[in-house]
Amino acid sequence: MRKLFLYTCLSTLAFSSLAQTKPKTAAPATTTLNTPNRPKLVVGIVVDQMRWDYLYRYYDRYKADGGFKRFLQQGFTAENTLIPYTPTITACGHTCIYTGSVPAVHGITGNAWWDKEQQRSVYCTEDKTVKSVGTTGVNGEMSPRNMLTNTICDELRLATNFRSKVVGIAIKDRGGILPAGHSANAAYWYDSKTGDWITSTYYMNDLPQWVKDFNAKKVVDKYYALDWNLMYPKETYVQSTADEMPWEGKSFGADQKGFPYDLKKFIGKNYGAIASTPYGNSMTADMAKAAVINEQLGADDIPDFLAVSFSSPDYVGHSFGPNSIEQEDDFLRLDTTFGNLFNFLDQKVGKGQYLVFLSADHGVAHVPGFMKEHKLPGGLIEDDRWGKELAAGLKAKFNADKLITSTYNYQVHLNHHKLDSLELDKKSVIQYIVDYYNKQEGISRAFAINELMTVPLTAKQRDMMANGWYPRRSGDIQLVLQPGWIDGGATGTTHGIWNPYDAHIPMLFYGWGIKPGRTNRETYMTDIAPTIAALLHIQMPNGTVGKVVEEVLK
C-alpha cells in the first residue's frame, strides 16, 4: 500500500511539473510558418565530359577570380561523387543530375537506344509530333517526352504554381532539353547547320525577338575570327603531352595538326567546328546571359532556374583526349568563362542572391595510344570486326542473319521478332554470343542480362548495371570492358563504362545559402536534385533515388 501511495504521488508530481513547463515550450496557437527563404535564381551547370581530377590537375593555373577556385574556396565540394549506373553517357548524365534518378526509372538509357516496342533506334530527345522553330531542318524536332520522370526544374514550377521561369541552354539538344524538364518555359540548342540557336513547337511557335536578335549577330563568326591559340606560352602547359600527338583527332581538317588553329576559314561556311573549341563554351555563356537579361531571370522574389550545359569539353576531349594541350587550354578558358558569368550574375541578380551547382554528365578514358606509350594497361576494341565475325558465326550456326539489331550502350540487342518467327531457341543464341565475346581481348566478361544477379561481379558493378537497365530500352547481353579499354577508332577516346575515370565527377555548390566546406564521403550524381530540393524547400523529383547531401545544408 505504501508503494502504491508513493507511486501515485510521484506520478502526480511529474504530471504537475509537465503541465507547468508546457506553456514555455509550446508554440502559440496563432503562430504560422514563415514563407521559405529561397534564392532569386538557381543556375545548374553541367560540364559535358569533366573528370573530377580536372579540379586539381589545373588548380595552380586557375585564376583567383575565375570560376573553379570560387567554387572550391567559397563554396562546397563533394570530393567523392560517383555516377551510380552504366552507361556513363551524356543523355543519361544530364537526366540523372536533374531527376535524382537512374535510367532504370527515368528511361533515358543512352543518347539513343533500340526500342523493343517500336522496333527501331530512338534518339533520346526525338519527337516527330513537334516542328522545328528557328530553322527549316529537322534539328528542332525535339522534346523531353522520352523522359519518364520529372526534374527538379519541374518541381520548382509546381512549387510556385508555375510562376517560376525555367530555361535550358546547351549546344547539344539533349543538354538543354532534358535538364529543363517537361514544363520548362523554354529550351534552346545550337543548330550546327545554320549557326543559330533554335527550339521546337513543344515550347513555342516562334523564337522570342531577343533570340532572333542574338542569332542575327552571328556570334559564331565573331569567335572564328579570333582563331584558337593558347592562352599562355606552350612550354607552360606542363600538365599535358606535347602538341600534335599521333593519337589525336583532326577536328579542324587534316592540314591543321596543332596550335595555332586557323578558324577564320570556317566563317560563314562551317558552323559546327565551334563546338570543338573553347569558344563553344563562350558562345553558350553569351546565350545564357542573354536569357537572364531578356527573360528577367532572378528579377523578383519568385525563384527561377537556368539550366545550362557546356558541351565543348566533350567535343575537345573525344578528339584530343584528357591529357592534351587542347583540353588543358579549354579548361583554363572555361575557368575564365565561369568567373565572368558569376560577375555578371553578381550585377544582374545580386551577389548572394543566386545559387549555383556544377557537376558533369561523365568523365573520360585516356586515349589508348597514350596509355600504350606509357606502358599502362588498356587498348582499343575493334567492334566492326566483332560484328562481322558474329554475323558470320550466327549464320553458320543458326542459318539466320540479322539476329542482332544493335550494340548500343555496351549491350547486345537481339531481334526478338525474327527469333520468334524462325522459332530459334533464344537461350542458345544468347549463349553463342556470350561465348564469343568472352573469348575476345579487352572483354572482362559478357553475360545475359537476366543473369545479372547471379553472375560473379563486384557489388558496385552489379548495382551500376542494374540501375542502368530499363527493360523496353535495354539489351539482352551486357558487355564489361577491361579497365583502360575503349570501343572506338584509331584516334581520340570515349567514355561509357563503370570505371572511376568515367564515373568520378565533380559536385560543387556556390552562392546563396552555401557555406565553405567539403566532404570526402561517397556521394552520387543522383544526390544533387534532392539536395537542391531541400535547399529550396520543395518536393524532390518524382523518380528520385538519391539522398540529400546533409553537409551542404549545415
d(CA 343, CA 348): 9
Cβ atoms within 10 Å, residue 554:
8
**CA nearest 43: which of 349, 301, 335, 331?**
349
Angle at 468 between CA 305 and CA 139, to 5 degrees: 55
| 3-state DSSP assignment of residue 200 | strand
Alpha-carbon distances of 201 from 187, 254, 376, rounded to whole Å: 11, 39, 50
Among candidate residues 499, 407, 471, the one with its CA nearest the CA of residue 86: 499
Could you say which DSSP state residue 347 is in? I
Q: What is d(CA 406, CA 417) in angstroms, rounded to the nearest whole number?
A: 14
> Half-sphere exposure of 100 toward its Cβ, with a 13 Å CA cutoff?
25
Nearest to residue 178, comparing CAs of 103, 121, 245?
A: 103
3-state secondary structure of 340: helix
Active-site residue, from 77, 81, 86, 90: 90
Is residue 90 annotated as part of the catalytic site, yes or no? yes
Helix H or strand E encompassing 546: none
| Position 218, amino acid | K
- Secondary structure of 109-132 in HEC code, one letter for each residue: CCCEEEECCCCEEEECCECCCCCE
Tell me 201's DSSP state: T
What are the b/e assignments for 84-97, b being 16+ CB within 10 Å? Answer: bbbbbbbbbbbbbb
Residue with cell 546533409: 550
Q: Which three cell numbers stand for residue 279?
A: 569558344
Mind telling me the catalytic residues? 90
